[in-house]
Amino acid sequence: MARASEAFGTLDIFVSNAGILTLDTIDSYSLEEFDRMVAINVRAAFVGIQAASQRMNQGGRIVLIGSNTAIRTAFPGGSVYSMTKAALTGLVRGAAIDLAPRAITVNNVQPGPTATDMSSAHADLVKTLIPLKRMGEVSEVASLVSYLASEEAGFITGASLTIDGGYVA
């Protein structure tokens, strides 16, 4: 953040897209993996919001990338991941209130299964679970992020918006 603001001045937009997924059932999940997932999926988002907001003027935009698993844990071994993504929904609501006096909006995009290198191996299985019968495209998620970063979205804050082809409907 410091280097970006030195090079370009104040920040207008911050997108937090860091995250990891480690699967294991709750009865055998290691404390070390738990701490690692919380550090990357939750703490990093908090630190990012804090650092970005300190370098933003009025009307800045902050967007986190969460997951639709914040709403529905649909597979064994996903409890810790789901918990970290659910934590982002609370963080976004609170940060939106804290930063509202400066007209900085804070929102959370919750993608479902999206066609990426990580998830493409499971595409056939996932498609059976999604009412639209396909995985999301990266460009569709990016379009929602772009909209939330725009002036047109200036009245949306504290929201967690799910983009998952109807998976959690």
The CB density around residue 149, as the number of other CB atoms within 10 Å, is: 19
CA proximity to 166, closest of 123, 115, 113: 113
pLDDT of residue 35: 98
Q: Transcribe 95-112 into DSSP letters.
A: HHHHHGGGT-EEEEEEE-
What pLDDT score does 127 carry?
78
Q: What is the pLDDT of residue 154?
A: 97
Q: 90, 76 in Cβ contact below 8 A?
A: no
pLDDT given at position 2: 85
Burial of 153 (0-12, 13-18, 19+ CB in 10 A): middle
Q: What residue type is 115 in one-letter code?
A: A
Check residue 4 and give its pLDDT. Answer: 86
Which pLDDT does position 145 carry in this prediction? 98
If pLDDT is split at 50, 70 and 90, which confidence band does 81 have? very high
- Domains of the chain, CATH where assigned: 2-17+24-163 (3.40.50.720)
pLDDT given for residue 27 in this prediction: 97
pLDDT for 82? 96
Please write the tens of the pLDDT for every residue from 117-155. 777 777 787 778 899 999 999 999 999 999 999 999 999
Q: Residue for token digits 């009412």?
A: 131
CB 11 within 8 A of CB 5: yes
Q: What is the mean pLDDT of residues 34-44?
A: 98
- Distance in angstroms (rounded) separating the CA atoms of residues 72 and 60: 30
Rounded to whole angstroms, the Cα distance separating 117 from 28 reads: 27
- pLDDT of 117 reads 79
- 147 as an active site residue: the answer is no
Tens-place pLDDT, residues 45-78: 999 999 999 999 999 999 999 999 999 987 899 9
Please tell me the predicted confidence (pLDDT) of residue 125.
75
